[in-house]
Amino acid sequence: GENVEQHPSTLSVQEGDSAVIKCTYSDSASNYFPWYKQELGKRPQLIIDIRSNVGEKKDQRIAVTLNKTAKHFSLHITETQPEDSAVYFCAAGRGGSNYKLTFGKGTLLTVNP
Amino acid sequence: EAGVAQSPRYKIIEKRQSVAFWCNPISGHATLYWYQQILGQGPKLLIQFQNNGVVDDSQLPKDRFSAERLKGVDSTLKIQPAKLEDSAVYLCASSLGLAGRGEQFFGPGTRLTVL
């Protein structure tokens, strides 16, 4: 089955700096890569996703890049703010619209004011 | 639009007892997922339904876990009997299914503690 590795497990940055979280996956058939943000005690929420037919996607301060050859994808957050502090999960999925997702173990991002 | 609803939010039981969780997905969402999230880890898929049929239950411990979605809407997940290692947050998620683009919406979860 699919295996998703996520690094780092914790990341601390100063407000205004950039943060990068990296994930690798094992199943070359995976074609959908979402990123979820989970604040303490709350539900995971989708912040951005990318499909295997594109290499990069941006949404304001958030971007995701995908390297299918190397089987890795990354989340980039620019101009970080204290409210960006949360656990971020990457996931990989395959199939049509009913993706079976395998999640990474998460990255605890702390943005210090 | 109302989100995914789950109940109860918290449950404490003794090992070997039984417990059931309920999920009401977003209206119109054909696909429903149950995940187990152990503290410090990412969600792990237990079972996936498309309408009232099971799409994937390969990671469901079938000797103690069961789930159903009888009318293709609400779903229940049951653990019988519970073990200490079942302590986790049980998340329900739903998506539009074949009509959508794949985004899964999560409920608030049920935090289970097995003593």
Instruction: Assign A72 a pLDDT band (cuts: 50, 70, 90).
Output: very high
Q: Please report, rounded to a whole number, the percentage of residues in chain B having pLDDT higher than 70.
A: 97
In this prediction, residue B102 carries a pLDDT of 77
Mean pLDDT lowest among A36-40, A60-64, B69-73, B108-112: B69-73
In this prediction, residue A96 carries a pLDDT of 66
* H or E element that contains A33: strand A32-38
In this prediction, residue B33 carries a pLDDT of 96
- Helix/strand/coil for A83: helix
Instruction: Give me the count of residues in chain B.
Output: 115
d(Cα A84, Cα A19) in Å, to the nearest integer?
A: 10
CA distances, A83 to each of A40, A62, A80, B33, B69 (Å): 12, 14, 8, 28, 37
- Each residue's pLDDT tens digit, B5-55: 999 999 999 999 999 999 999 999 999 999 999 998 999 999 999 988 998
CA distances, B2 to each of A32, A98, B10 (Å): 26, 21, 21
**Cβ of A44 and B95 within 8 Å?**
no
Which residues of B make CB contacts under 8 Å with A? Answer: 4, 31, 40-45, 48, 50, 55-56, 58, 91, 95-109
Average pLDDT, rounded, for chain B: 93
In this prediction, residue B44 carries a pLDDT of 96
What is the distance in angstroms between the Cα of B98 and the nearest Cα belonging to chain A? Answer: 5
Mean pLDDT of A98-110: 92
In this prediction, residue B72 carries a pLDDT of 85
Q: What is the CA radius of gyration of chain A?
A: 13
Instruction: Assign A112 a pLDDT band (cuts: 50, 70, 90).
Output: very high
Mean pLDDT lowest among A1-5, A109-113, B21-25, B106-110: A1-5
**Cβ of A98 and B99 within 8 Å?**
no
d(Cα A13, Cα B50) in Å, to the nearest integer?
A: 41
d(Cα A99, Cα A22) in Å, to the nearest integer?
A: 21
Which position has the higher pLDDT, A85 or B1? A85
What is the distance in angstroms between the Cα of A27 and the nearest Cα belonging to chain B? Answer: 17
**Cβ of A89 and B43 within 8 Å?**
yes
What is the distance in angstroms between the Cα of A17 and the nearest Cα belonging to chain B? Answer: 25
Out of A96, A100, A106, the one facing B56 most closely (by C-beta) is A100
Count other C-beta atoms under 10 Å from residue B58's C-beta: 11
**Cβ of A49 and B103 within 8 Å?**
yes
Torsion, Cα B69 B70 B71 B76, to 10 degrees, reads -40
Window 51-70 of A: residues touching B by CB (8 A cutoff) are none
Q: Which of A52, A97, A102 should we substitute to test contact with B (largest number of B Cβ atoms within 10 Å)?
A: A97
For chain B, give the DSSP string. Answer: ----EEE-SEEEE-TT--EEEEEE--TT--EEEEEEE-TTS--EEEEEEETTEEEE-TTS-TTTEEEE-TTSS-EEEEESS--GGG-EEEEEEEE-GGGS----EE---EEEEE-
**Is any Cβ of chain B less than 8 angstroms from the Cβ of A93?**
yes
Instruction: Assign B110 a pLDDT band (cuts: 50, 70, 90).
Output: very high
In this prediction, residue B98 carries a pLDDT of 67
Out of A46, A49, A97, the one facing B96 most closely (by C-beta) is A97
Residue keyed to tokens 């709350």: A42
